[in-house]
Structure 1
Amino acid sequence: MQFDVVVAGGGPAGLAAAIRLKQLQPGLSVCLIEKAAEIGGQVVSGAVIETRALDELLPAWRELGAPLETKVNEESLLFLTAKRAFPIPALHWAMPDMDNRGNYIVSLGDVCRWLGEQAEALGVDVFPGFGGAHLVIEHNESAHPRVVGVTTGDMGRQADGSPGPQFQPGVTLEAKQVILAEGAHGSLSEEAMSRFFLRKGIDPQTYGLGIKELWEVPAAQHRPGFVQHSFGWPLDSQTYGGAFLYHFGRNLVAYGFVTGLDYRNPYLSPFEEMQRTKKHPAFSKHLKGGKRLAYGARALTEGGLQCLPRLTFPGGVLAGDSAGFLNMPKIKGTHTAMKSGMVAAEAVVEALTQNAPEATSYQPRLEQSWLWGELHRARNIRPAFHKWGLWGGALYAGLDGTLLRGHTPWTLHHHQPDCDRLRHAADARPITYPAPDGLLTFDKLSSLQLANINHDEGQPSHLVMRNPALWREVNLNQYQAPETRYCPAAVYEEDKDATGKAFLRINASNCLQCKSCAIKDPTLNIHWTVPEGGSGPSYPPGM
């Protein structure tokens, strides 16, 4: 199948790019593929978004019925100890990036569904249920290699990889340009970065793992428009992260926890940290008497401006979290992802008009946009926590927010990938987590039931160990199998064979597709490949 442009990824960045392409040149043939069974189907509800990019992309979004209904009207930032919560005074002055006045609490899945409808109305061919498996690269003796399309994954293979009775080979989508907007650690994006050396000379990306639950709470305790964030307990002073809670919709509360994947202690479990924070009085009062409706997890790119790779390559560009446009001090990436997609579309249209192989105007266009200025001002906050821990990072963030405002002659850097940060288990303190109570706190398996995971048990495992022997030698002996703790879905399980020898059992059908294993494994021995299209978690509208 041939198109002018193929967009990989049906999140905010990819959808904004597709819409902008058709706005600029209605005659372009544009195809958008998404690995979820439907647009927005793998996005867990509850996000705070700025409308700046949406105002530019679709100024009449209110008249068009965009699902933005709950405006932020109250917010709080708390420093937690084990039993107390201390509000940060003068929040909007001390930490202006945390100012959510004018923002909306939304079901991001519903926003993506609505954006998908706008894209289809403009003539974009939207194909959910198709994950991009590989880039199609043209090799020409007289020219440099160039991406000329995307191949989707095969369907109907059996566990051993052989074609089954319902086998359908992947489809090759040829394109003059591709826009990769798959989210954090996307497969095609990682392939492009490796093939075209896009990360050469760039700080290694650092990630966070966000785990989220959606609750329905009694009407009497629902506070539509209330936003709360916390830092401090239960994490140690060297681990970045914290909890969030948003009231929106009809008696809905989104609760979640973000843990920086540069943490050091191999015994740490982001899932358990998220669960026990719910027992803190600052959070339990919001959820008590409620019912969990959904559960999910995803990786976030936290590195900032200094971790952005080169954004263009012959035949394509990177956008959204595929590149790393999240503004971590704001804890927001929707508006930045959308803006990057819009600018990517503008550069791609220019390249197509000039019949140029590479959309080289993308970077200069970004540098002239508000997006670049926003990320530049925020660039030092996350690496300050990486460098100096909680207290030094918080002090620097306060100084930057009140006095420096990001206008400094220096840039702090990330020097290690997250996989290199773990201490050996012998040098770390084991953590004992409380048992779940079944009311506020739960285990992983009962949580997975709320993710509505669709996975054909007969398909090949999309989680592959490059060297199985390395797991016992390194992961088990040196780090006490950290993947059994950092995975929020009970995918990885230490087991013993008939001779009593330990091995790693991989329950691929549990996978929430968060990508943490491909990021945090000490030797990057776990290879995350694209599962069959439509596999994975599934969240209905409103969730």
Structure 2
Amino acid sequence: MKHHPYFRSLLSSDSERLAYAARVLTEGGLQSVPKLNFPGGALLGCAAGFINIAKIKGTHNAMKSGMLAAEEAYKAVHPESESSSGAADMSGYDRALHDSWVHSDLYEVRNLRPSFQTPLGLWGGIAYSGIDSLFLKGRVPWTFKHHLPPNPTNGSDNTLSLDSASTEPASKHKPIDYPPFEPPLSTDLLTSVALTGTNHAEDQPVHLRVVKTRTYLNQVNSKSGNLAVGAGLGAVQSQVEVEVEEDAEEVAKKRKEEVEQEKELRKKHVQVNVGEFAGLLGRACPAGVYEYVPEEGGAGVETEGWNGHKLVINSQNCIHCKLCDIKVPTQDITWTVPEGGGGPKYSIT
């Protein structure tokens, strides 16, 4: 867009780009908001899906939800009765949010996004959204629902998302001929990533793994007794091995099996994403985290690659947009919270 003559005239050669950022939008709206509290914690802001998709704005709702959660957290850690024990009860946060203007803000625009999945179709959805936004203001007795695609590619996997199922093979599209980089209008990807200030400690557990999300959670749960996904499966395994006395040979056997399973999963990932989708993540990731590079030894070597290509994950570059976890058609990229709070350091946006 910045290459358009109008914007080019505004951005002279003396212009300086100050920031770069990327983030997927949780556009499900009110119908997709989950239960907001759990023992000892709560979901706030974009993590809970509080974006007003009509305004493409969520900061106001995120701040208000944080204020409400803080009030309930204070009540939970300073209970009126000293007999309270166990994890802090944040159930009051759900009620407080429902009674606040955050709920009203989301309720007003609840039908806009799902209207495109009704028999109205694309143009009907556009017309309905315009009428609802300008005149009805959500004051209708019905609420549209989100629907899964009629033939989801991932079967009954409950990690299926509408975005991943809607990703189409490369054969249905023509390659886009992008104009060459023209600083400051546009720069290469790594120059853009440098503006985010992103950083992850080199010795932290890898927060991007090629493993089915549901499988990952089941593995962590069976090994640790809780869903400590932020620690990374490797960290949980190490902890369990210290606490539980197991035969060294048995541990080595299990690790070997897990390595082989991950290799096979990586191979399937490359086969689908390179063979059918022309290396989707290598093209779509806004931080250059994923690369499908030539594999040493070529196509005939039995490794984790496929047809002479393998997947390389540069997790250090990750700016936490969550595109990979959501959009990849194979739904086998599991993103977990990095250890130590690593990630982008936005100072302006």
* 51, 58, 74: which one aligns with 1:333: 58
- Quote the Cα distance in structure 1 between the aligned partners of 2:76 and 2:339: 33
- How far has the Cα of 1:448 moved from its partner? 1.8
Of residues 188, 197, 201, the one that matches 1:443 is 188
Determine if contact 2:287/2:318 at 8 Å carries over to the other structure: yes
Q: Is the 8 A contact 1:419 1:522 kept in 2?
A: yes
In structure 1, what is the equivalent of residue 26 of structure 2? 301
Deviation at 1:488, TM superposition (A): 0.1
Structure 1 residue corresponding to 2:136, chosen from 369, 393, 404: 404
Label 1:476 to 1:395 Cα distance change in 2 as closer, same or farther (>3 A). same
Aligned mate of 2:319, from 494, 512, 515: 512
What's the CA shift for 1:429?
Answer: 3.7
C-alpha change, 1:319 and 1:449, in structure 2 (3 Å) is closer
Match in the other structure for 1:292:
17
Q: Kindly state the Cα deviation for residue 370 of structure 1 after the two structures are TM-superposed.
A: 1.4
- Answering whether residue 167 of structure 2 is matched by residue 427 of structure 1, we say no
Determine helix, strand or coil for the equivalent of 1:503. Answer: strand
Kept in 2, the 8 Å contact 1:455–1:536? The answer is yes
Counterpart of 1:461 in structure 2 is 206
Higher strand share: 1
- Distance in 2 (alpha carbons) for counterparts of 1:295 and 1:341: 25
| 2:96 alignment partner, SS class | helix
CA distance in 2, matches of 1:449, 1:321: 24
- The CA deviation at 1:425 is 2.4
What is the CA–CA distance in structure 2 between the aligned matches of 1:420 and 1:308, rounded to whole Å?
Answer: 20
Query: Are residues 1:499 and 2:302 paired?
Result: no
Deviations 1:443-478 (A, max 9, x none): 212212222333444555322112212212322222
State the AA in 2 paired with 1:317.
Answer: A
Q: 2:115 aligns with which of 384, 392, 415?
A: 384
Task: Name the CA distance, whole Å, in 1 between partners of 2:338 and 2:36.
Answer: 26
Give the helix-richer structure, 1 or 2: 2
The answer for the alignment partner of 1:533 in structure 2 is 340
2:65/2:97 contact within 8 Å kept: yes
Matching of residues 27-66 of structure 1 within 5 Å: none
Question: 2:2 aligns to what?
Answer: 278
Normalising by structure 2, report the TM-score.
0.69
Rate the CA distance shift 1:396–1:539 in 2: closer, same or farther, 3 A.
Answer: same
Corresponding residue number in structure 2 for 1:311: 36
Matches within 5 A, 1:118-267: none
CA distance in 2, matches of 1:278, 1:438: 11
Structure 1 residues 534 and 436: CA distance shift in structure 2, 3 A: same
Q: Percent identity?
A: 46
* Distance in 1 of aligned mates of 2:133 and 2:32: 21
Contact 2:200 2:316 in 1 (8 A): yes
Cα pair distance change 1:295/1:469, threshold 3 Å: same
Provide the residue aligned with 1:364 in structure 2.
95
Answer whether contact 1:454 1:534 (CA < 8 A) is retained.
no
Q: 1:411 to 1:282 in 2, by over 3 A?
A: farther
CA drift of 1:535 comes to 3.0
Equivalents in 1 of 2:31, 2:205: separation in Å?
Answer: 37
TM-score, normalised via structure 1 length: 0.45
Q: Provide the C-alpha distance between the structure 2 equivalents of 1:458 and 1:415, rounded to a whole number of angstroms.
A: 42
Q: 1:413 to 1:278 in 2, by over 3 A?
A: farther
Distance in 1, Cα, partners of 2:5 & 2:117: 28
One-letter code aligned to 2:58: G
**Superposed CA RMSD:** 2.5
Cα drift, residue 398 of structure 1: 1.5
Evaluate the alpha carbon distance shift between residue 480 and residue 389 of structure 1 in structure 2; reply closer, same or farther with a 3 A threshold.
Answer: farther
Matching residue's letter, 1:431: I
Q: Which SS does the other structure have where 2:46 is aligned?
A: helix
Report the equivalent of 1:125: none
2:331 is the alignment partner of 1:524? yes
- CA distance in structure 1 between the aligned counterparts of 2:116 and 2:6, rounded to whole angstroms: 24
Q: How many residues align?
A: 266
| 1:439 positional shift | 3.6
- Residue equivalent to 2:145: 413
Query: What is the distance in 1 between the residues matched to 2:337 and 2:94?
Result: 29
**CA distance in 2: counterparts of 1:526 and 1:420, whole angstroms:** 14
Contact 1:366 1:372 in 2 (8 A): yes
- The alpha carbon displacement at 1:493 in A equals 1.0
Q: CA deviation at 1:350?
A: 4.2
Tell me what 1:155 maps to: none
Distance in 2 (CA, whole Å) between partners of 1:529 and 1:395 is 39
Q: Secondary structure at the match of 1:485?
A: helix
1:419-449 C-alpha deviation (Å, 9 max, x unpaired) = 2111222333433322222341222122122
**CA spacing shift, 1:509–1:360, aligned 2, 3 Å:** closer
Q: 1:362 to 1:456 in 2, by over 3 A?
A: closer
Deviations 1:58-117 (A, max 9, x none): xxxxxxxxxxxxxxxxxxxxxxxxxxxxxxxxxxxxxxxxxxxxxxxxxxxxxxxxxxxx
Structure 1 residues 395 and 431, CA, compared in 2 at 3 Å: closer, same or farther?
Answer: same
Name the CA shift for 1:373/1:537 in 2 (closer, same or farther; >3 Å): closer
Gaps of 5+ in 2: 149-160, 212-264, 299-307
Q: Distance in 1 between matches of 2:134 and 2:346?
A: 40
Deviation, 1:534, is 5.0
**Residue 342 (structure 1) aligned to one of 62, 67, 79:** 67
Aligned partners of 2:121, 2:286: CA distance in 1, in Å?
Answer: 24
The 1:431/1:405 distance shift into structure 2, 3 A limit, reads same
